[in-house]
Amino acid sequence: MRPDRPSDTAELVCAWRALEALLPVEERLVSDPWARAFVGPWRASLLDLADRLPARARAALARQVDRALQGTMTFVLARHRAIDELIAATPRATQVVLLGAGYDSRAVRLEPALRGRTLFEVDHPATARRKAALAATAYGDAPRARVVPVQVDFERDSIEERLRAAGLEVGASTVWVWEGVSMYLDEPAVRATLDLVRGLSAPGSLLAFDAWCPPAGGLARLARRDLPSLAFRLLYHEPLVWGPPQERLAPLLREHGLTLVELVEARALVARYGARRRSWLDLSSMVFVVGEVAP
């Protein structure tokens, strides 16, 4: 990402959560009424235009955007929901760390589940500053979890130093969330993050993340690795970088002291939530992964 500019992909996925609100409640993968407040002007104008449509047309529009994105939006929403569920189902974790928090509104959305726990929102300084500037107005009086913002550039700064300075309880049971981030990093930064999780938290702590695992050769590589990466570089200034083969994920976790709990391909994750009605070309190369800190 550009060092001085907030992440555009963070705003993009937040806009997808806002777009989801155009669907009937029973069809939504995630309900995030706060997402809209973090969407920048041009995307917000499009959402405002959509608001003026009758309900059926609004929902049809949201479904069409989803289809046009070939499953990526659906996966992004499904991973958000899977992580919500994981946090709620792990009350033993006294702290939750969002690595690359973006415009995540779990501080308010999951406030009941986070009560008594600390939520560390770790992000690049430029994104973190934009979020801080908007959050006060966005959240208003809504009950909020205890949030500790932590500004870090994953490729330059020591995340460990910043987290320790921010008051992370070292050795405590923790849920780590690394959502939509690993693919923008180089492999040393990915490995350093796995070491961090292992080094700072108790055995049994969980790491939920998603990885981009496109084909390694042939035309499929061009269509699903090279072109998407170029598109992300040109459109968002955030090229897709780390794209390991799926089979490498479990050994990689093991090398860093974590065991694989779950690895789910995009289509299966979406199907888990009964979102099959959103027909899509399966061009997503994403997988959702949960690892556990080994004893």
Ligand X SMILES: C[S@@+](CC[C@H](N)C(=O)[O-])C[C@H]1O[C@@H](n2cnc3c(N)ncnc32)[C@H](O)[C@@H]1O
Residues lying near ligand X in the complex (CB under 6 A)? 1, 7, 9-10, 13-14, 100-104, 123-124, 127, 152-155, 179-181, 184
Strands (E), the chain: 95-99, 118-123, 146-151, 174-178, 206-212, 258-265, 286-293
Instruction: Return the SS3 of 239.
Output: coil
120-142 burial, b for 16+ CB within 10 Å, e for fewer? Answer: bbbbbebbbebbeebbeebbeee
Cα(275)–Cα(82) distance, integer angstroms? 13
130 CB contacts (<8 Å, ≥6 apart)? 6
Taking the complex as a whole, how short is the minimal distance between the CB of residue 252 and ligand X, in angstroms? 19
Q: Is 1 or 22 the residue whose CB approaches ligand X more closely?
A: 1
Cα(179)–Cα(10) distance, integer angstroms? 10
Q: Is 180 or 243 the residue whose CB approaches ligand X more closely?
A: 180
Q: Is 179 or 292 the residue whose CB approaches ligand X more closely?
A: 179
Contact call for residues 121 and 98 (beta carbons, < 8 A) = yes
Taking the complex as a whole, how short is the minimal distance between the CB of residue 55 and ligand X, in angstroms? 26
Q: Is 56 or 156 the residue whose CB approaches ligand X more closely?
A: 156
Taking the complex as a whole, how short is the minimal distance between the CB of residue 180 and ligand X, in angstroms? 3
Taking the complex as a whole, how short is the minimal distance between the CB of residue 266 and ligand X, in angstroms? 15
Q: Is 14 or 119 the residue whose CB approaches ligand X more closely?
A: 14
Taking the complex as a whole, how short is the minimal distance between the CB of residue 131 and ligand X, in angstroms? 8
Cα(79)–Cα(13) distance, integer angstroms? 11
Taking the complex as a whole, how short is the minimal distance between the CB of residue 173 and ligand X, in angstroms? 21
Q: Is 20 or 123 the residue whose CB approaches ligand X more closely?
A: 123
The residue nearest ligand X at its CB is 102
CA distances for 176 relative to 77, 79, 198, angstroms: 18, 14, 10
